[in-house]
């Protein structure tokens, strides 16, 4: 259980449920009807001979999923640099940050008696002090726990890495340099700021719902992981981004690092799938700068 808690505490930024067909020409994105059956794109430009790749992740998946994507694995191996959302740095992990806090959450204000007992049991052997986790962070944690343990049916003893961290481990094995686009501290701050001011009763209801889903093993609520596994993605490249904090602002900030590295190295960019989507997504932003974004078969 300790390893499960550690794995999930890397936090899952919620992916948006969406499904498309995208045809791309140099410097342009052309959208047609129907799904695009990929999460892997080649990134090229006439201004250099570099060949890079853009890969949309779902943080709940892991080794088994990526190892089946042979073309994605080859694309990673061809890179000189792996760019991911953040790096797991000892002393600066989610567990370290949470345990260093001086304040605590009065869980009896957010959880009923049975739900609190469930949380106490879940964290019984964990090195993370759940009393220092915020209600927002707990909801994110439980959502990933639901996706991994119920939707993907990971065994309790399965301590495999998240998809993003497994890709990073493969890069390390191949001496591919790693770059993080933001720190874990920044990510945790964003998670909490995203629902800043949410009434306590809403927190309480959200926590109650997700705990019930886990207890009852509601596999009927696994559409998101089923959809991602099938890789039938609607990137909705003409739709506006509706969350400036979590998508628009972060994508724009990330682009500064991404473009600089693309100009110098063959890169493999692995970020949450939602960051590729919509008008503000990385696909559109790179296309606007003259890059050719070509869908590739991942398997």
Phi, psi of 270 (to 5 degrees): -120, 105
pLDDT at 27: 55
pTM flag (> 0.75): yes
Q: Is the pLDDT of residue 6 over 90?
A: no
**pLDDT band (50, 70, 90) for residue 31:** very low
End-to-end CA distance of the chain: 32
Q: Give the per-residue pLDDT at 158.
A: 63
pLDDT tens digits along 205-255: 999 999 999 999 989 999 999 999 999 899 999 999 999 999 999 999 999
| Angle (nearest 5°) at CA 210 between 57 and 88 | 40
**Mean pLDDT across the chain:** 88
pLDDT band at 41 (very low <50, low <70, confident <90, very high): very high
On the question of pLDDT at 108 being above 60, the answer is: yes
Q: Decide if pLDDT at 52 tops 70.
A: yes
Span 126-139, pLDDT tens digits: 999 999 999 999 99
Residue 16 clears pLDDT 80, i.e. is over it: no
CA–CA distance, 130 with 126 (Å, rounded to integer) = 9
Q: Which residues 6+ apart lie within 8 Å of 57 measured at CB?
A: 39, 163, 164, 167, 270, 271, 272, 273
26-46 burial code (b ≥16 CB/10 A, e <16): eeebebeeebbebbbbbbbbe
The band of 161, judged by pLDDT with boundaries at 50, 70 and 90, is confident
For position 156, what pLDDT does the model report? 64
**pLDDT tens-digit readout, 253-289:** 999 999 999 999 999 999 999 999 999 999 999 999 9
């Amino acid at each position: 259980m300790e390893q499960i808690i550690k794995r999930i505490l890397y936090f899952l930024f919620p992916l948006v449920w969406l499904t498309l067909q995208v045809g791309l020409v140099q410097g342009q994105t052309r959208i047609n009807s129907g799904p695009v059956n990929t999460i892997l794109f080649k990134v090229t430009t006439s201004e250099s001979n570099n060949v890079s790749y853009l890969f949309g992740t779902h943080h709940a998946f892991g080794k088994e999923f990526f190892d089946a994507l042979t073309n994605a694995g080859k694309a990673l191996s061809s890179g000189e640099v792996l760019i991911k959302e953040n790096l797991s740095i000892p002393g600066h992990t989610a567990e370290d940050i949470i345990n260093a806090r001086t304040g605590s959450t009065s869980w009896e204000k957010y959880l009923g008696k049975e739900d609190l007992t469930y949380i106490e049991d879940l964290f019984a052997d964990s090195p993370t002090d759940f009393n220092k986790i915020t209600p927002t962070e707990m909801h994110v944690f439980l959502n990933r726990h639901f996706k991994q343990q119920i939707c993907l049916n990971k065994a309790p003893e399965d301590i495999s890495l998240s998809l993003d961290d497994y890709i990073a481990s493969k890069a390390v094995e191949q001496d591919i340099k790693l770059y993080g686009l933001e720190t874990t501290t920044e990510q945790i701050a964003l998670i909490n700021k995203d629902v800043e001011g949410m009434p306590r009763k809403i927190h309480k209801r959200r926590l109650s719902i997700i705990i019930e889903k886990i207890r009852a093993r509601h596999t009927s609520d696994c559409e998101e992981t089923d959809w991602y596994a099938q890789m039938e993605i609607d990137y909705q490249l003409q739709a506006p981004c509706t969350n400036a904090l979590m998508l628009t602002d972060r994508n724009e900030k990330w682009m500064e690092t991404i473009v600089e590295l693309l100009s110098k190295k063959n890169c493999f960019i692995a970020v949450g799938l939602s960051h590729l989507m919509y008008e503000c997504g990385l696909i559109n932003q790179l296309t606007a700068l003259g890059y050719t974004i070509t869908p590739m078969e991942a398997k």
